[in-house]
Chain A
Amino acid sequence: MATVAERLEEIWGEKPGLATWVSTVDHKKLGMKYLYTGFIFFVIGGIESLLMRAQLMRANLNLLEPETYNQLFTMHGVTMMFLFATPVLSGFGNYFVPLMIGARDMAFPRLNAFGYWVFLAAGIFLYSSFLIGEAPNAGWFNYVPLANEDFAPGLNIDFYALGLIFLGVSTTGGAINFIVTAFKMRAPGMSLNRIPIFVWGEIAFAFQVIFALPLLTLASVLLVLERKFDFVFYNPDRGGDPILWQHLFWIFGHPEVYIVVLPAFGLASAIIPTFARHRMIGYTYIVLAELAVAIIGFGVWVHHMFATGLPQMSMSFISAASFMVAIPSGVQVFAWLATLVAGRPVMRTPMLFIFGFIFTFVIGGLTGAMFSAIPFDQATTDSDFVVAHLHYVLFGGAVFPMFAGLYYWLPKMTGKLLDERLGKLSFWLIFVGFNLNMFPLHILGLLGKPRRVYTYGEGLGWEIHNFLSTVGAFILAFGILLTFINWARSARNGEPAGPDPWNGETLEWATTSPPPDYNFEAIPTVRSREPVWAQPELREGPQPPELGGYTLDKGHVTLSTSVLDAQPEAVVHMAHETPWPFLLTVALMVMFYGILIEAWPLAAIGVVASLGGVLGWFWPSGETQET
């Protein structure tokens, strides 16, 4: 008679090997893939920024050609927004949302695998542009007419537009998956008001993606039609309007900032209670604030366009909304601070990064509120001040929490602890390096230096700030390198972490590190917002059936529960590993390359192969559903 664990291992285990590497649908393996791939793109984007900072270190340097510089800053933005920040936060979400809500996988495991492969393929597609020296070069917001065929006849912009359309498939699929998972797959008893804030962050993120991303896709499709098929949408010489691109882009683009920041805030909210040894103060405020940001975030896009000459009346409305969106961010900051003051903070590496996050993000948030004031925005937008602001928000608001998350969760993912001294050294280098890198850019902006210039003249008072900024960038890069070294060393010979090295509050700490393929031997019934703190039995192994544990060891199944109160509703069959998402992605990639180089037979092969891929994906496996 096999034990429950053995039976579950039999049902859920994926055989190691190359085939499984391609066909896995395990949210943990996919989550790790997202993290590895996302951080590789982080390194690439970081190297791009170091090259730019080297070029700007002194006046009139000639390290980079102007065209190279322009491609670098464009790809730096595209990479950090689309290929690093969003995927890494999706990676954390993929890995931890099912664990935090006590599920055995995401709701749609194959869609999940598809999302990863499309992300990787779109990243490769975008970067293949460097092979022919025609990387996107019109900035990450790609304004027309500079991106029209008249001014950008090469393939640069086609890589950008098609790459983002392709990538959008991945992000949208992932968002739908997060919403269904968070609403339908929660452990019994985990009613809406007990959902961990990190999961709420992913929910808010997912809803924003679903409403915002179609606009980017639309804008890009119109651009491809205009560039390749002679349609007219943006070209002013033929009756189009270049401002239309800006509206479409920023209705997506501003929510994109929150798409990056909201899950990162969720990460902070996951770490703070554990490391403050105090339950979160203002849970309801934080959740409502995250949802408020997700909604108000759609009403502020025009503040990216205050200098385009729009009517004052319409700008005033957007200005008011932009001031207002500062409030829910402030609510979260003060709830974290209240929790830290009420608790007894443990200054380990994750917490250091959280303090660094609050410090830098608050600076970015305050300058953000300044940009809501129309005249101030008009004075400093498109200057280095805005570059400083957006990095304080995005690096401060997202990268610091991500690094906190790495130090917090890698022990769960690998089962090994990270080195504390190396972690702290890395933090201080990142913190000092970042501020030295980015703070002087505020001043440069006020001193009249526009952004996106590959060079500048002497005698303008811009040299010292640029020099300091470059020094800071290299310190920052070194600090980041130390964390990666720490990560690699820990994976090889770190101390074993045990199931719960931090005395954590949420369900991921109620299983082994790393968790088994089936996550939990018994899907627990939850009676508190902080289940592992409130239910001592969860620390002692699988929850026994008399306390509500569901072993479900008769099939490849997990529990589905009701949206509001998480009452058990059904036992749902989960998909097995399959190579079809991978194959479908390859077919789509063929199609996109076909469109890119206008090789229509190739594109047609891609379309037909994609249909075949969908067919294979949905071909009935012959297994019967059991409930």
Chain B
Amino acid sequence: MRKRLRPELAISLSVLPLAMLGACASDAPSVLEPAGPAAASVERLWWLLFWISFVVFLIVLALMVRALRGRGRIEDAVDDSEVRWGEPFVALAGVVVPWIILTVAFIISLGVMKELATAEESEDLTIEVEGRMWWWEVRYPNGAVTATEIHIPVGERVRIKLTSADVIHSFWVPELQVKLDQVPGRVNELSLQANKPGRYRGQCAEYCGLQHANMIFTVIAEPRAEFDAWVANEAKPTVTAAGSALRGRDVFMDNSCVGCHAVRGTEAGAELGPDLTHLASRSTLGSAILPNTRENLARLITDPQSVKPGVTMPPTSLSSDELNDLLDFLQQLT
């Protein structure tokens, strides 16, 4: 009985992973659910490589099961006869067949690599994305500067220029593109295209220190008209504040906020932290780890270390009136 069971156990063990692969959650930023042409090419390549590997693995498994059918005991005499099929089998299964398969896979993979390569001149929109510890600055040709959220027009190839202000980061939107590093002192380029409108999760893929885990961003693909309106608004300086927001602006200018953040249209022009000119138009805070609500904003200002331990932003202690005014100011930065 026991002898019968083991090969079956081995086979079921090999099928289990397949079942797990089938159970992919659809809310994940999955490489296997591509939303753009580049990611689609990679997905096709993956399935080719997967099925080749799966067949090879089954062959190995079959040979192991076959070997288990003729068991011996340690006292058995040694068989030192030459096996006629032995070395030819090793040469065929170990050298010839893999050589052919690997050559084919190599050539196909080079083709996919060419597909992914940026077509240098065709894109009319270039977005600069600079990695910072631990957030992303996004700059558009019309002067718009934002953080964390990269808006792109749907269905168009957009060129992304990748740089870093400090250490090495890596730009990865699994549903749209392969990843590419952001290396200080270098400029890397990538093309991004989303086939349908939506929000695509991106995350830093190169370990970059304490808050690497919370260096997240979002690519927002929207119809051209919406994109144009958004990018035009983002380029504008902020509106004139009034009432409590005006008092909040003074709080901003009198405290450490002004030392790091820019609000275009005011005297605040520092570039150490994210540009806040249109903070209220963004849906998240802290590099996409918190929804952009009044409570979260307050928490981020008064106790940033509790939100993101190790972040360079210092805590700011304010009276509740001052804080409320400051929040009023920040929340009207649309």
> Which residues of A are at the interface with B, using a C-beta cutoff of 8 A?
65-67, 70, 138-139, 143, 145-146, 151, 236-237, 241-243, 275-279, 281-282, 285, 289, 307-309, 312, 315-316, 319-320, 323-324, 326-327, 330-335, 337-348, 355, 358-359, 362-363, 366-367, 369-370, 372-376, 378-383, 435, 439-440, 442-443, 445-448, 450-457, 459-462, 464-465, 501-503, 505, 530, 533-534
- Taking a contact as CB atoms closer than 8 A, the residue among A312, A333, A530 that contacts B94 in the complex is A333
Please tell me if B210 contacts chain A, counting CB pairs below 8 Å.
yes
Inter-subunit contact B185/A242 (CB<8 Å): yes
Inter-subunit contact B98/A330 (CB<8 Å): yes
> Which residues of B are at the interface with A, using a C-beta cutoff of 8 A?
10, 13, 17, 20-21, 24-32, 39, 41-42, 45-46, 49-50, 53, 56-57, 60-61, 63-64, 66-68, 70-80, 83, 85-87, 89-91, 93-95, 98-99, 102-103, 105-106, 108-110, 112-114, 116-117, 133, 162, 166-168, 170, 172, 174-175, 178-181, 183-186, 188, 201, 203-214, 289, 309-310
Inter-subunit contact A151/B60 (CB<8 Å): no
Inter-subunit contact B71/A375 (CB<8 Å): no
Q: Which B residue's beta carbon lies closest to that of A328?
A: B94
Closest 4 CB pairs of A and B: A461-B25, A344-B72, A236-B185, A453-B213
Name the distance in Å between B256's Cβ and chain A's nearest Cβ.
22
* Bound Cα distance A27, B74 (Å): 29
Q: Which A residue's beta carbon lies closest to that of B203?
A: A450
Q: Which A residue's beta carbon lies closest to that of B117?
A: A312
* Bound Cα distance A395, B60 (Å): 19
| Residues from chain B with Cβ under 8 Å of A281 in the complex | 83, 86-87, 89-90
| Residues from chain B with Cβ under 8 Å of A237 in the complex | 184-185
Name the distance in Å between B13's Cβ and chain A's nearest Cβ.
7
A-B contact count (CB 8 A): 315
What are 15 contact pairs spanning A and B, CB under 8 A? A67-B210, A281-B87, A330-B94, A333-B60, A341-B66, A343-B79, A362-B57, A366-B56, A375-B112, A379-B31, A382-B205, A443-B24, A456-B213, A459-B27, A530-B78
- Taking a contact as CB atoms closer than 8 A, the residue among A285, A312, A320 that contacts B106 in the complex is A320
Q: Which A residue's beta carbon lies closest to that of B61?
A: A359
| Residues from chain A with Cβ under 8 Å of B83 in the complex | 281, 338, 342
User: Interface residues of A: mostly helix, strand, loop or mixed?
Assistant: helix
Q: Which A residue's beta carbon lies closest to that of B106?
A: A323
Inter-subunit contact A338/B45 (CB<8 Å): no
Inter-subunit contact B95/A337 (CB<8 Å): no
* Bound Cα distance A233, B175 (Å): 37
* Given contacts A145-B168, A242-B183, A345-B68, A285 and B90 within 8 Å (CB-CB): yes
Inter-subunit contact B75/A503 (CB<8 Å): yes
| Residues from chain A with Cβ under 8 Å of B91 in the complex | 285
Q: Which B residue's beta carbon lies closest to that of A383?
A: B205
Q: Which of A65, A331, A442 has the most CB of B within 10 A?
A: A331
Inter-subunit contact A439/B98 (CB<8 Å): no
* Given contacts A143-B168, A376-B49, A383-B205, A67 and B310 within 8 Å (CB-CB): yes
Name the distance in Å between B52's Cβ and chain A's nearest Cβ.
8
| Residues from chain B with Cβ under 8 Å of A320 in the complex | 106
Inter-subunit contact A277/B178 (CB<8 Å): no
